[in-house]
Amino acid sequence: MRYAKITERLEGLGSHKWAVHIEGKDREARGEELIFLSIGEPDAAVPEAIMDVADRQMRAGRTRYSNGRGEPQILRALSTMYSQRTGRHVGPSQFLFLPGTQTALYVAFMGIIDIGDEVLLPDPYYATYEGVIAAAGGVAVPVLADPDRGFHLKAADLAKKITPRTRALLLNTPGNPTGTVFTADEIAEIGALCRKHDLWIVSDEVYATLTYGNTIFVSPFDDEELEERTIVVSSVSKSHAMPGFRCGWIAASEEFCDRVLPLSETILFGSQPFLEDAAAFALQNHFPEVDAMKVSYEERAKALISGLNGAKTVSARMPEGGMFVMVDIRKTGLSGDQFARRLLAEEAVVTMPGESFGTGGAGHLRVALTVDEGQITEAAKRIKRLAERI
Ligand SMILES: Cc1ncc(COP(=O)(O)O)c(C=O)c1O
């Protein structure tokens, strides 16, 4: 049978990235005890009060079809949240409720990219980005972010990669895997470039609530001059430890939302009302569990870094945000992939090789801060021990 080109564009894309994790899972199934630092899945429980709302609303009959844009409650909650954040009125018609940031990314790129259009991508980048760009027929154009500048991208490097086919920039702040949070000046400089070349900015803000120390989260959407060209994608997956709820959204101009609504309706025919109610409740209320989760990520990052203290060939810097630490192993002379494989085989610690996130991640390991401090400290000890043996 003959298949559409999209199946070829996506064929095999990304599966090799998870090879170390998959081997770790196989070993675990054979009875080995391992420390898993490979997947960005929050280990915290969903706040009880949110679970109660989902349960209550489901039992109250909120199980019918939802409208394609999202239920009025969640759209109002998003409108309030973004109006407060931006300091201007962001109306309910500027949102589309979608099942997670991943779907929001898909809808965003299907709405702005034609075959052969180029998308600028700070490198290292999140593992599914190549796939969503390729699905829409776009060409990912990685722009290397220097690890020695804390993976802070230079606008000048971005400018060098702009061609007549460039249509969009995909930003992710706080970044996965880098932990980098773009400053207000960086966003302004990058934004000016996007205005000059009339580019869309797709802003993946799934880690927006997770920033550490004095770091301040800044979004291009909050700048009135960038609002019309910015498409925010986000969710409650990380902010409230609710990835399985698949509750996410697009925030953009009303025109953009109206234009892509038929696209999301074609894929989804609406979402689940009881989950939309739970997400609205999550966004409208404050939860001590959520505060505690953020504190624990910060403490775990500090524990990892202090555990690596004194090592001659491995080091890590405190992430500005997100839930990952990049461990720099370049001085060992191994690639991230080689180091991660040996770390699994010799020390029973499962990490992601930096190369899984693009060339820019080479010579690094991405460590997910999703196990308790004791296990993080133990993992740091084992990373250091392997580095000393090399
Ligand atoms: C940068 C980034 N974007 C998007 C996603 C997907 O998030 P969601 O669960 O909201 O689809 C993830 C998940 O790890 C991520 O790290």
Question: Both 249 and 153 in a single domain?
Answer: yes
Separation of CA 386 and ligand 1 centre (Å): 31
The upper half-sphere exposure of residue 193, i.e. CA atoms within 13 Å in the direction of its Cβ, equals 22
> Could you give the CA distance from residue 322 to residue 212 in angstroms, rounded to a whole number?
9
> Could you give the CA distance from residue 272 to residue 138 in angstroms, rounded to a whole number?
31
Question: Both 300 and 260 in a single domain?
Answer: no
Rounded to an integer, the average pLDDT of 316-327 is 98
Is 57 inside a domain boundary? Answer: no
Closest residue CA from atom 7 of ligand 1:
101
Reported as a single tens digit per residue, the pLDDT across 108-146 is 999 999 999 999 999 999 999 999 999 999 999 999 999
Query: E-assigned strands of 187-334?
Result: 200-204, 230-235, 248-251, 315-316, 324-328
The DSSP string of 131-165 is: HHHHHTT-EEEEEE--GGGTTPPPHHHHHHT--TT
Is 125 inside a domain boundary? Answer: yes
Question: Both 76 and 25 in a single domain?
Answer: no
Q: Tell me, what DSSP letter sits at residue 201?
A: E
Task: Give which of 204, 111, 120 is closest to 157, Cα–Cα.
Answer: 120
CATH number, position 206: 3.40.640.10
Question: Both 13 and 74 in a single domain?
Answer: no
Last residue of a domain, one of 265, 284, 303: 284
Does the pLDDT at position 67 exceed 90? no
What atom of ligand 1 comes closest to residue 247's alpha carbon? 10
Please count the structural domains in the chain. Answer: 2
Probe residue for ligand 1, chosen from 202, 231, 238 as the CB with the greatest number of ligand atoms within 8 Å: 238
Reported as a single tens digit per residue, the pLDDT across 281-315 is 999 999 999 999 999 999 999 999 999 999 999 99
Question: Both 68 and 195 in a single domain?
Answer: yes
Last residue of a domain, one of 269, 284, 299: 284
User: What mean pLDDT value characterizes the chain?
Assistant: 96
Give the strand pairing for 364-368 and 352-353.
antiparallel
Least reliable range by pLDDT among 1-10, 151-160, 234-243, 279-288? 1-10
Query: What contacts 24+ positions apart, CB below 8 Å, involve 81-88?
Result: 81/283, 82/221, 82/251, 85/219, 85/222, 86/221, 86/222, 86/227, 87/222, 88/224
> Could you give the CA distance from residue 182 to residue 90 in angstroms, rounded to a whole number?
23
Place of tokens 């407060």: 84
Is 378 inside a domain boundary? Answer: yes
Does the pLDDT at position 79 exceed 70? yes
Is 347 inside a domain boundary? Answer: yes
For residue 319, say if its preceding peptide bond is cis, omega within 30 degrees of 0: no
When pLDDT is cut at 50, 70 and 90, the band that residue 334 belongs to is very high
What atom of ligand 1 comes closest to residue 236's alpha carbon? 10
Is 151 inside a domain boundary? Answer: yes
Closest residue CA from atom 13 of ligand 1:
40
Q: What is the pLDDT of residue 14?
A: 67
Is 372 inside a domain boundary? Answer: yes
**Structure token pair of residue 304:** 């990892």
Q: Tell me, what DSSP letter sits at residue 62?
A: -
Q: Which residues line ligand 1 (CB under 6 A)?
A: 40, 100-102, 126, 172, 176, 204, 206, 235, 237, 243, 248
Probe residue for ligand 1, chosen from 41, 126, 232 as the CB with the greatest number of ligand atoms within 8 Å: 126
Question: Both 263 and 332 in a single domain?
Answer: no
**Structure token pair of residue 306:** 């202090």
When pLDDT is cut at 50, 70 and 90, the band that residue 362 belongs to is very high
Question: Both 114 and 154 in a single domain?
Answer: yes
Percent of the chain surpassing pLDDT 90:
96
Separation of CA 41 and ligand 1 centre (Å): 9
Residue 241 sits in which domain range? 64-284
Probe residue for ligand 1, chosen from 43, 102, 204 as the CB with the greatest number of ligand atoms within 8 Å: 102
Q: What is the pLDDT of residue 11?
A: 86
Is 85 inside a domain boundary? Answer: yes
Rounded to an integer, the average pLDDT of 185-211 is 98
Task: Give which of 352, 333, 341, 308 is closest to 390, Cα–Cα.
Answer: 333
Question: Both 214 and 272 in a single domain?
Answer: yes
Question: Both 101 and 245 in a single domain?
Answer: yes
Separation of CA 127 and ligand 1 centre (Å): 9
Question: Both 219 and 308 in a single domain?
Answer: no
> Could you give the CA distance from residue 384 to residue 377 in angstroms, rounded to a whole number?
11
Question: Both 34 and 71 in a single domain?
Answer: no
CATH number, position 302: 3.90.1150.10
- Residues with Cβ within 8 Å of 312's Cβ and at least 6 positions away in sequence, in order, are 331, 387, 388
> Could you give the CA distance from residue 41 to residue 282 in angstroms, rounded to a whole number?
18
The count of residues in the chain is: 390
Does the pLDDT at position 171 exceed 70? yes
Task: Give which of 222, 247, 267, 250 is closest to 108, Cα–Cα.
Answer: 250
Question: Both 269 and 294 in a single domain?
Answer: no
For residue 353, which phi and psi values (nearest 5 degrees)? -65, 140
Closest residue CA from atom 16 of ligand 1:
176
Is 54 inside a domain boundary? Answer: no
Last residue of a domain, one of 255, 284, 313: 284
Give the strand pairing for 139-144 and 118-123.
parallel
Q: What is the pLDDT of residue 13?
A: 76
- Residues with Cβ within 8 Å of 28's Cβ and at least 6 positions away in sequence, in order, are 34, 36
